[in-house]
Structure 1
Amino acid sequence: MLFDKIKSSTFFILGPCVMEDQELLYRVAEHVAYIGQKFKVPVIFKSSFDKANRTSIHSYRGPGIEKGMEMLKNVKEKFDLPVTTDIHEPYQAAIAAQVVDILQIPAFLCRQTDLLVAAAKTGKIVNVKKAQFLSGQDMFYPAQKVIEAGNKQVILTERGNSFGYNNLAVDFRNIYDMKKHGHPVCMDCTHSVQRPGGAGGKTGGDRTFVPMMALAAKAFGADGYFMETHPDPDNALSDGPNMVKLTDLEKTIAPLL
Structure 2
Amino acid sequence: MMNFSLPDGPGESIHVGTGAPLLLMAGPCVLESKEMALEIAREMQAITQRLGISYVFKASFDKANRTSLDSFRGPGVKNGLRILSKLREECNLPVVSDIHEPQHAALAADVLDIIQIPAFLCRQTDLLVAAAETGKVVSVKKGQFVSPWDMKNVVNKLRGSGCETILLTERGASFGYNNLVVDMRSLPVMRSLGCPVVFDATHSVQLPGGAGGSSGGQREFIAPLTRAAMAVGIDGLFMEVHPDPDKALCDGPNSLPLDQVEEMLRNLLKIRNAVGGECGQ
Q: How does 1:1-257 map to 2 (within 5 A)?
A: 1-2=5-6, 5-7=15-17, 8-257=20-269
Contact in 2 for aligned 1:128/1:143 (Cα 8 Å): no
2:279 paired residue number: none
Structure 1 Cα separation of the partners of residues 178 and 31 of structure 2: 25
Secondary structure in structure 2 of the residue aligned to 1:137:
coil
In structure 1, distance between residues paired with 2:100 and 2:240: 19
Contact 2:21 2:52 in 1 (8 A): no
Change (3 A) 1:4 1:74: closer
Distance in 2 between residues matched to 1:144 and 1:255, nearest whole Å: 36
Give the match's secondary structure for 1:128.
Answer: strand
For the 8 Å contact 1:45–1:82, the answer to whether it is kept is yes
Query: What is the CA distance between 1:246 and its match in structure 2?
Result: 0.4
Task: Report SS of the residue matched to 1:241.
Answer: helix
Tell me how far 1:4 sits from its aligned partner.
5.2
Aligned partner of residue 6 in structure 1, secondary structure: coil
Are the aligned partners of 1:129 and 1:156 in contact in 2 as well (CA < 8 Å)? Answer: yes
Q: Hey, which bits of structure 1, 4+ residues long, moved more than 4 A?
A: none
C-alpha separation in 2, matches of 1:4 and 1:182: 18
Given that residues 122 and 140 in structure 2 are in contact (C-alpha distance below 8 angstroms), is that contact kept between their aligned partners in structure 1? yes
- The residue identity in structure 1 corresponding to 2:231 is A
Displacement of 1:206 after TM fit?
1.1
Distance (Å, rounded) in 1 between the aligned partners of 2:27 and 2:225: 18
What is the deviation of 1:218?
1.0
CA distance in 2, matches of 1:163, 1:195: 10
Q: CA deviation at 1:92?
A: 0.4
TM-score, structure 2 normalization: 0.90
State the shift of 1:160 in Å: 0.2
Name the structure with the higher helix share. Answer: 1
Deviation of 1:36 (Å): 2.3
Quote the Cα distance in structure 1 between the aligned partners of 2:225 and 2:50.
Answer: 23
Q: Where does the alignment leave 5 or more consecutive residues of structure 2 unmatched?
A: 7-12, 270-281
Question: How far apart are the structure 1 equivalents of 2:133 and 2:16?
Answer: 20
Q: Distance in 2 between matches of 1:184 and 1:4?
A: 13
Higher mean alpha-carbon deviation, 6-15 vs 168-177, is at: 6-15
SS at match of 1:14: strand
Q: Distance in 2 between matches of 1:176 and 1:65?
A: 35
Query: What is the CA RMSD across the aligned residues, in angstroms?
Result: 1.0
* 1:193 and 1:209 in contact (8 A); partners too: yes
Using the alignment, how far apart are the partners of 2:22 and 2:194 within structure 1? 16
Q: 1-side partners of 2:75 and 2:198: how far apart? A: 27
- 5+ residue gaps, structure 1: none
Distance in 2 (CA, whole Å) between partners of 1:95 and 1:120 is 13
Contact 1:175 1:220 in 2 (8 A): yes
CA deviation after TM superposition for structure 1 residue 6, in Å = 2.3
* Identical counterparts, % of pairs: 52
- Once the 2 structures are TM-superposed, how far is the Cα of residue 9 of structure 1 from its aligned partner? 2.7
Q: How many residues align?
A: 257
**1:81-115 per-position Cα deviation (integer Å, ceiling 9, x unaligned):** 10000000001010001001000000000000110
**Deviation readout 1:42-95 (Å, 9 max, x if unpaired):** 110000011101100011111000000010011101111100000000010100
Amino acid at match of 2:223: P
Deviation track 1:127-165 (CA, whole Å, cap 9, x = no partner) reads 000000111111111011111111110000000000000
